[in-house]
Amino acid sequence: MKIVLLGPPGAGKGTQAEGLVKKLFIPHISTGDMFRAAISSGTALGMEAKRYIDQGKLVPDEITEGIIMDRIAQPDCRGGFLLDGFPRTLPQAMALEEMLKDQGGLDAVLDISVEPEHLIVRLTGRRMCKKCGAIYHLHYNAPQQENVCDLCGGELFQRDDDTEETVKNRLSVYSEQTAPLIEFYQKKGLLHVVEGNHPINTVLVNLGKALGQNWN
């Protein structure tokens, strides 16, 4: 299955991707995670991407499309993949179509829908594991021990772009550049909208239903 996860910043794309890939046995490909890895390793790509990410702007399409093209050409993507955070502009969506044209295109686009007023609270309260990338929230999904990852014991940190000011920029970039993809994919008959303002596991079950799976 070749799946795209859509949704505004904080909708729960990363959180749901963790659950989806365990059920579907396909790789989770997050452009945001790939950029953050490049930033921590101090590569030229990372330094370039950081200029945009820290301001809540999108990294230019050519850079992002190149990364995805290389990634989905890897052997582990032969049986499908779950894209999280790509595409997020119309040109990126068209580039993806071109990349997949000999493989039958996408199978589904899952749009996690959450009202804007919840997103700022979700993002400013998010914490992530330095070691394994697991996603927590101070109130909605707190680790058992403060600042320690339940899964690997790693230390938790706050993303640099999760400050209130940058979050507001990210949300307006989403409305202007990414929200038009909802209509784009609806017209292609690929879109499934799933309400994201439910407990994490309920959202997972409903995403499964949209894919024709019964995970109850």
Binding site for Mg ion (CB under 5 A): 13-14
Furthest-apart CA pair in the chain: how many Å?
48
Q: Of 50, 88, 122, 127, which is the active-site residue?
A: 88
Name which of residues 107 to 146 contact ligand AP5 (CB under 6 A): 122-123, 125-126, 135-137, 140-141
Q: What are phi and psi of 88, to 5 degrees?
A: -135, 20
> Active site includes 71?
no
Is the CB of 15 or the CB of 178 nearer to Zn ion? 15
Query: Which C-beta is closer to ligand AP5: that of 15 or that of 110?
Result: 15
CB of 103 to Mg ion, least distance (A): 25
Pick from 114, 111, 107, 115: nearest CA to 193: 111
Which partner from the list Mg ion, ligand AP5, Zn ion, none does 80 bind, CB cut-off 5 to 8 Å by kind?
A: none
141 binds, among Mg ion, ligand AP5, Zn ion, none (CB under 5 to 8 A by kind): ligand AP5
- Determine if 93 is a binding residue for ligand AP5 (CB under 6 A): no
Query: Using an 8 Å Cβ cutoff, are 49 and 63 in contact?
Result: yes
Residue 134, contacted partner among Mg ion, ligand AP5, Zn ion, none, CB below 5-8 A by kind:
Zn ion
Q: Report d(CA 145, CA 158) in Å as an integer.
A: 16
CB 125 within 8 A of CB 10: no
Should residue 50 be labelled a site residue for ligand AP5 when binding is judged by CB under 6 A?
A: no
Shortest CB 210 distance to ligand AP5, Å: 15
Long-range contacts of 195-200 (CB under 8 A, 24+ apart): 195/113, 196/7, 196/11, 196/12, 196/112, 196/113, 196/114, 197/114, 197/115, 197/118, 200/12, 200/15, 200/16, 200/19, 200/141
Known catalytic residue: 2? no
**Whether 69 contacts 99, CB under 8 Å:** yes
Cβ 5 vs Cβ 190: under 8 Å: no
- Phi/psi region, residue 10 (left: phi>0; alpha: psi -120 to 50; beta: rest), is left
Interface with ligand AP5 (CB under 6 A), residue from 2, 13, 28, 50: 13
Query: What is the contact surface with ligand AP5 in residues (CB under 6 A)?
Result: 7, 9-15, 31-32, 35, 52-53, 56-59, 64, 85-86, 88, 92, 122-123, 125-126, 135-137, 140-141, 170, 196, 199-200, 203
Which residues carry out catalysis? Answer: 13, 88, 126, 159, 170
